[in-house]
Amino acid sequence: MNFTTIPLQNPSFFNNSQSSLAGALQGCIGSLDGACLEKLLLHCASALENNDVTLAQQVMWVLNNLASSNGDPNQRLTSWFLRALISRASRVCPNATNLHGGSNLERRLMSVTELAGYVDLIPWHRFGFCASNSVIYKAIEGQTKVHILDFSITHCMQWPTLIDAIAKRPEGPPSLRISVPSWRPQVPPLLNVSSEEVGQRLANFAKFRDVPFEFHVIEDLNYDMFLSQLNPSTLQIRDDEALVVNCQNWLRYLHDDEQIKGAISSRDIFLDRVKDLNPCIVTIVDEDCDLGNSTTLTSRIAACFNYLWIPFDALETFLPKDSKQRLDYEGDIGHKIENIIGFEGNQRIERLESCNKFSQRMENSGYMSVPFSEETIKEVKSLLDEHASGWGMKKEEHDMLVLTWKGHNSVYATSWVIVPTTPYGPE
C-alpha cells in the first residue's frame, strides 16, 4: 500500500523523550505516513481501553492536526476514525476532549437517481450484482416461474439488469416475483422513497420489457421476529416456482454469538431456515474483512483501517478532493466506521466476516459452492474495464470470485446449492 507522507506541523512537540507519545511515534519523526497514522489511532484506542484519558487526549490532539476530510486518502480516512474515537470517548467521559466530533452524523436520503450514481461510482456493489445475476440466470434456465427472496441493502438496484437479461431469453421470459423484507438495517445507502415505490418502478420496467412481474414487501418480516418468521407461509412460497435467495451485504447484520457459551449464531439459524425452503441457488456477496467478534478496540481499528483505505484510495483516482459526490460517499463509509469503533454489544451492528470464514460456515450448514462459469467471469471483467485500472478480480478457494483493488481483497461473491442428501445423510 503506498501512502502519501504528511509533514509534522510541530515536530518540536515530540522532541521531549518523556512524552508518552514517544512509543507511538518511534520512526515517524519528521513525517507521518499512513502506517504512522494507523499507529497513532491504535495508540489512542489502547489509551481508551486502559482508561488513560490524558494520553488519549494527547493522541487525539496530534491526530486532529494531521487528519483532514479534504486531504489525501489517508488523512480523509483518519479523520473519520478520529471522529469515531472522539464519539466513543465523549460517551465514556463527556469532558474528556474539546475536539469537534461526536455521533450526530446526518443520515442522507438519496433519490433513486442518486442511488444509481452511488452504485455506479466504483464497482463495490456492481461487482456483486453482475456475478450474482449471471449465476441466477443460469440457475433458472428452463424455469417458467421464478421467485427471488432479496436480502439486500441496495434497494433492488440489482434487478433491472436481470430483468433485461431474462427478457431476451430465446424461449421467452419466466414470470418473475421478487420479495423483500419490510425490515432493513438502517445503514447507507438510505432512500427517500418506500419499498413499495421501488417495487412499482421495477414493475414499470418489467412491463416495458414484457416480463410478467410481481413485487411483494413481506410486512411480517421485522428484525425481532425475523428468524422465526422465515418460513414458507410468511414468505408466500409457491411450489411451482424456482426459488432464489439473494444476500447482498446483508448477512453481516445478523448477530453472530459464537463467543457466548451455548449460544447459536443467528447466521447459522438463517442458513438452516433458508435450506428448509429448498432454493435452487443461494447467492451471497459481502465485504472481505473480518470484524465479526473482535473483542478489542485496537484489533477492530487495525482490521478496519487496513481495509477501508481501499474505497478512499479508489475515489482519489478520479474525483477532486472537494467533490460533493466523493465527500458524500466517504461520509457513508464514516457511518460504518462510527459503528465499528464507537459502539459495543448489540449497538455494534457492523460485524463483517471474511470470505474464508463465511464459506466454512456455509459448508458446515450443509451447502456446497457452485463454480462461476467462464461467461460470468467474462461479464465481470467487462464491468471492471469500465472503471479505474486498479480494480481487478481473482478466484479463491470455495469457488469464490473476489474484487480487488491494487491486489487487495475488497468484496467477495459466492453461490451455493444445498448438499444432496440420501436416507443415510449427505452424499
Residue 159 has pLDDT above 60, yes or no: yes
d(C-alpha 90, C-alpha 24), whole Å: 23
pLDDT band, very low/low/confident/very high, at 36 (cuts 50, 70, 90)? confident
Contacts of 140 (CB under 8 A, 6+ apart): 146, 166, 174, 242, 244, 280, 281
Q: What is the pLDDT of residue 26?
A: 63
Of 144, 162, 152, 138, whose CA–CA distance to 242 is shortest?
144
Residue 308 has pLDDT above 70, yes or no: yes
**Least-confidence region, from 87-101, 108-122, 140-154:** 87-101
d(C-alpha 356, C-alpha 396), whole Å: 9
Higher per-residue pLDDT: 292 or 233: 233
On the CB side of 38, CA atoms within 13 Å amount to 19
d(C-alpha 165, C-alpha 147), whole Å: 16
In SS3 terms, 275-326 reads as HHCCCCEEEEEEECCCCCCCCCHHHHHHHHHHHHHHHHHHHHCCCCCCCHHH
Of 259, 247, 229, 227, whose CA–CA distance to 358 is shortest?
247
**Least-confidence region, from 245-254, 339-348, 372-381, 418-427:** 418-427
pLDDT band, very low/low/confident/very high, at 225 (cuts 50, 70, 90)? confident
Percent of the chain with pLDDT over 90: 70
Is the whole-model pTM more than 0.75?
A: yes
C-alpha pair distances (Å), 105 with each of 25, 312, 338, 425: 30, 19, 9, 51
**Least-confidence region, from 15-19, 72-76, 320-324, 325-329:** 15-19
Q: How much is the mean pLDDT over the chain?
A: 88
* Across 19-33, average pLDDT: 61
Which pLDDT tens digit goes with each residue over 168-188?
999 999 999 999 998 888 999
Higher per-residue pLDDT: 101 or 51: 51
* Across 263-292, average pLDDT: 92
Residue 34 has pLDDT above 90, yes or no: no
Residue 14 has pLDDT above 50, yes or no: no
Residue 389 has pLDDT above 90, yes or no: yes
Q: What is the pLDDT of residue 92?
A: 66
Residue 406 has pLDDT above 80, yes or no: yes
pLDDT band, very low/low/confident/very high, at 2 (cuts 50, 70, 90)? very low
Percent of the chain with pLDDT over 70: 84
Q: What is the pLDDT of residue 232?
A: 94
Among 27-31, 219-223, 384-388, name the most confident range. Answer: 384-388
pLDDT band, very low/low/confident/very high, at 224 (cuts 50, 70, 90)? low
Q: What is the pLDDT of residue 229?
A: 85
User: Could you give the angle at which helices 159-167 and 195-208 cross, rounded to 10 degrees?
Assistant: 20
Q: What is the pLDDT of residue 13?
A: 39
d(C-alpha 96, C-alpha 56), whole Å: 9
Residues 58, 89 contacting (CB under 8 angstroms): no
Q: What is the pLDDT of residue 4?
A: 37
d(C-alpha 416, C-alpha 67), whole Å: 43
Of 321, 390, 312, 335, whose CA–CA distance to 3 is shortest?
312
* Across 9-32, average pLDDT: 51
Higher per-residue pLDDT: 307 or 294: 307
Of 116, 400, 363, 414, whose CA–CA distance to 249 is shortest?
414
pLDDT band, very low/low/confident/very high, at 426 (cuts 50, 70, 90)? low
* Across 370-387, average pLDDT: 96
Contacts of 284 (CB under 8 A, 6+ apart): 247, 251, 358, 362, 413, 414, 415, 416
Contacts of 295 (CB under 8 A, 6+ apart): 259
Which sign, positive or negative, has the C-alpha torsion 14, 15, 17, 18? negative
Q: What is the pLDDT of residue 6?
A: 36
How far is C-alpha 63 from the chain's CA centre?
Answer: 27
Residue 1 has pLDDT above 50, yes or no: no
H runs (alpha helix) in 191-296: 195-208, 266-276
